[in-house]
Amino acid sequence: MDNVTHTLFAATLARTQLGRAGRGTTAALVIASNLPDIDIITTAGGAATYLKWHRGPTHGPLGIVGIGLVTAAIVSLAYRYIPQLKKNRSGNDAREAAPHASFAMLAIVSTVGAALHVLMDLPTSYGVRALSPFSWRWFSADWMPIIDIYLLIVLASGLAFGLRSAHAKRWNATIVLTLMAVNYGIRAAAHHQALVAAPRLMGPTLPQPCDPAAMRSGIIDVWPRAPAAMSAMSALPPGKRCLVEIAAIPDFTGPFSWRIIAQMSNAYEIYQVDLLDERLRASDTAGDVFWRQVRRYPNVWTPVVEQAAASRLGQIFLGFSRFPAARSVVDAQGNTVVRWTDVRFVLGVGMSDRPRGGPDMFTATVRVGPNGEILDERLGGR
């Protein structure tokens, strides 16, 4: 989730029992709820370095515990050495007000805040490497967009309407947490319905699964998968293809609008579905051609593509990308330009989610010479 959502959620938690553990717990919750994203400092090493480390160790078990201890130390030292924090709002010494939370309590509260940051990132389509550095695989439930405007509205409204009294704060925090649970529940149910509707969208174009046993069946999706099978699937006879996976990616506009990504053996197909569309519930859809409303992105793995995948950028990007569509062309000098695009972030289909400014982090380009040497590698499609 975005940091505004993390901050508002932390402020809401501060109105529950977590915030009543002593002075400094609110600050600890807000800091710890944002500190996992400190990995943004890796952008100093370039966009590729950022992709390598983003949502990595700071979102893993060691990072969560470390953030809890660091945050507790920051808040404890601040309340000890900053004079303004030693006074309560009426100007009295802090010892006459609520007692300061102990270091141990601040560490516990901060660890909870950092852990909830990771748990809020997990249901997003971006995912999180929740076990790093022990495992660098990504995990995602695909329920939430990176920015959920409805969640932001609920959190901001709860904080605004709870300003009148301590009782109002606690009561509004309870209401907000309940509405958040309802929102997550609706998103989860809608995600399941989108996956159920996917075969109907694809109609007669739906091929047989490449490996029925490998088709996603659980709530959590995990990647990257073993890349060895990609070239084998791309090498199917002309006109033959199989279905690798179907995923439903949430839209920013609401819980009933979803982007269906069907990974075939040689391409990705993207559909947009509105679960409120009555045609999905009609018994006779012979006249509806959902499957014609599709965007296709080739994904052809050749020996040269595999060589490019072994490059530094190739390994970083393929370690990050969930749905890397591979294309390759030979330029006038006889070099092969290999390009991967993560189709989760392509333009079109009712939503643009490419980053503004700077290199396009969701497209990687590697130029390979006739002898297999890596001539150039960069993020971005140009």
Least confident residue range of 69-78, 165-174, 240-249: 165-174
Task: Give residue 216's pLDDT.
Answer: 65
- Is 196's pLDDT higher than 70? yes
Summarize pLDDT for 275-289 with one digit per residue, the tens: 888 777 665 554 455
Q: d(Cα 40, Cα 331) in Å, to the nearest integer? A: 36
Task: Tell me the pLDDT band of 240, cut-offs 50, 70 and 90.
Answer: confident
Task: Tell me the pLDDT band of 226, cut-offs 50, 70 and 90.
Answer: low
Residue 179: count of CB within 10 angstroms of its CB: 17
Task: Give residue 268's pLDDT.
Answer: 94
Question: Partners of 140 in the beta sheet?
Answer: 221
Residue (of 39, 42, 44, 19) closest to 29 by Cα position: 19
Task: Give residue 212's pLDDT.
Answer: 73
Three-state DSSP class for 100? strand
Q: d(Cα 203, Cα 96) in Å, to the nearest integer? A: 71
Q: What percent of the chain has pLDDT above 70?
A: 84
Least confident residue range of 66-70, 196-200, 312-316: 196-200
Least confident residue range of 118-127, 158-167, 352-361: 352-361
The tokens for 38 are 């400190």
Roughly how many angstroms between the first and final C-alpha of the chain, as a whole number?
A: 29
Task: Tell me the pLDDT band of 239, cut-offs 50, 70 and 90.
Answer: low
Beta-carbon contacts of 176 under 8 Å, excluding residues fewer than 6 positions away, are: 12, 154, 155, 157, 158
Task: Give residue 144's pLDDT.
Answer: 94
134 phi, psi to nearest 5 deg:
-75, -35
- Is 271's pLDDT higher than 80? yes
In the predicted model, what is the mean pLDDT of residues 286-312? 82
Least confident residue range of 121-125, 201-205, 356-360: 356-360
Question: Partners of 374 in the beta sheet?
Answer: 368
Strands in 295-298's sheet, in edge-to-edge order, are 243-251, 254-264, 267-274, 295-298
The tokens for 260 are 């269906």
In the predicted model, what is the mean pLDDT of residues 178-202? 92
Task: Tell me the pLDDT band of 217, cut-offs 50, 70 and 90.
Answer: low
Summarize pLDDT for 47-73 with one digit per residue, the tens: 999 999 999 999 999 999 999 999 999
Task: Give residue 9's pLDDT.
Answer: 96
Task: Give residue 86's pLDDT.
Answer: 61
Q: d(Cα 152, Cα 147) in Å, to the nearest integer? A: 8
pTM of the model: 0.88
Which DSSP letter does residue 186 get? Answer: H
